[in-house]
Amino acid sequence: MKRRIAAVAAGVAMLVAAGCSGNSSGSGGDSKSFDFWSFSGINQKAAVEEYQKKHPDLHVKLTEVGSSVETAQALTTALAGGKVPDLVLIQGDDMPKFVEQPQNFVDLRTLGADDIKKDYLDWVWSQSVAKDGPVLGIPTDVGGLAIAYRKDLFAAAGLPTDRVAVGKLWPTWDKFLDVGKQYKAKTGKAFIDNAGTSVFYQAVQQGDMKYYDADRNLAYDRSPQVRKAFDYGIAAAQSGITAKLASFTESWSAGMAKGDFAVVAAPSWMLGSIRTNAPSTKGKWDIATIPGGAGNWGGSYLAIPKNAKNPKAAWDYIKEMQSPQSQLAHYVEAGSLPSTPSVYKDPKLTSHSDPFFSNAPTGKIYTDSLLGLKPFYIGPDSSAIGQEFLNAVTNVESGKGDPAKAWDTALQNIKTAIGK
């Protein structure tokens, strides 16, 4: 998940200097405790508390470093300094940068990763596998795609409110934009929050080639999928149907609560943001299938740095807390979509509904969006490339960019950003 980057260099330095692991050796240390770095906003504390109840003789020292970006930055600094946590949570878009440096992590095959590989979606597992086979991370969740919409606002616009009927309104992104124009013409209000994350960022996740090709070569400038998604984003930016509210900002949160837009693209983890930002709208939202029907945005991995003082204890935590049944339990409690397909037919998931979202069968909706997914490779520069495309769409939306030149501008900015 994308979060804003704060000025955290000093905080990172202090964290690393404190030496959370306090040991640069893979052996020794206190076998009854281990250090765990996570990013904030996902209530990792609850999982740790659950684990410690089952293992009262163990102590997990959890540090919520900051955003996912800040956590990756802190880890990079720690790896360079030699003092590392025993366990770290890495957001999916940041994982490729670390996969290029496998010498900095424990090859989890040495602890038993091959024995559990079959439990996970193969295309998710593969993202944490380095050249020649080292397994650097175990998938914790995925982020199937869907659309969250306000039933009351749809009714006021004369649009259907039943989730199946709504999904049929937009089998494609072209149809989705047409519905947005109908809504705007009827109400005079914005249909979606913004063009960047609710259109471009969703459409670009739906094919089998994104910013890299199957051979892991850069392909952002020649991928038909990327160009098509970008054109959809530009079309949305020019259409007048967006509220021009950047995702995860204060104005976006406020606009969600006030009903300033009727629709937001909602990968499974986004549902928590909607509940938090707009608690008074409970029961007014519902969930429909996304245009195109399939896709994934998000997901994270648990990894063990090479110089961890207690890798065995960290591995025991991974193995227990990321098992299929544990991931299923966590989904029921917190909404994180499992990366373990064996539970996708489990009644606890298929029958799971969310009262905040009009009892939408979220388990089925989101797993269905994953089962139809064509996987693509995420590379070390994927995050930076996506940000530049997003910036170009946003600039057009705000009136600062020329839509006719937006693609070329984005390509130039990407080359500057990644040096390639």
Residues spanned by CATH 3.40.190.10 within the chain? 9-142+298-343, 147-295+356-418
pLDDT of residue 335: 81
Torsion (CA) 189, 192, 196, 202 in degrees, nearest 10: -160
Per-residue model confidence as pLDDT tens digits over 348-367: 999 999 999 999 999 999 99
For residues 225 and 279, what is the distance between their CA atoms, to the nearest angstrom? 36
User: The tokens 């670009």 sit on which residue?
Assistant: 204
Q: Which CATH superfamily is domain 9-142+298-343 in?
A: Periplasmic binding protein-like II (3.40.190.10)
Closest CA to 377 of 99, 103, 39: 99
Average pLDDT, the chain: 91
CATH classification number, 147-295+356-418, choose in 3.40.190.10, 1.10.260.40, 2.30.30.100, 3.40.50.1860: 3.40.190.10
DSSP state of 336: P
pLDDT of residue 27: 41
For residues 23 and 194, what is the distance between their CA atoms, to the nearest angstrom? 46
Confidence category of residue 7, pLDDT binned at 50, 70, 90: very low
pLDDT of residue 14: 47
Per-residue model confidence as pLDDT tens digits over 274-316: 998 999 999 999 999 999 999 999 899 999 999 999 999 999 9
In the predicted model, is pLDDT for residue 35 greater than 90? yes
Percent of the chain with pLDDT over 90: 79
Contacts of residue 277, defined as CB under 8 A and 6 or more positions apart, other chains included, come to 252, 253, 254, 256, 257
Amino acid at 278: A
In the predicted model, is pLDDT for residue 70 greater than 80? yes
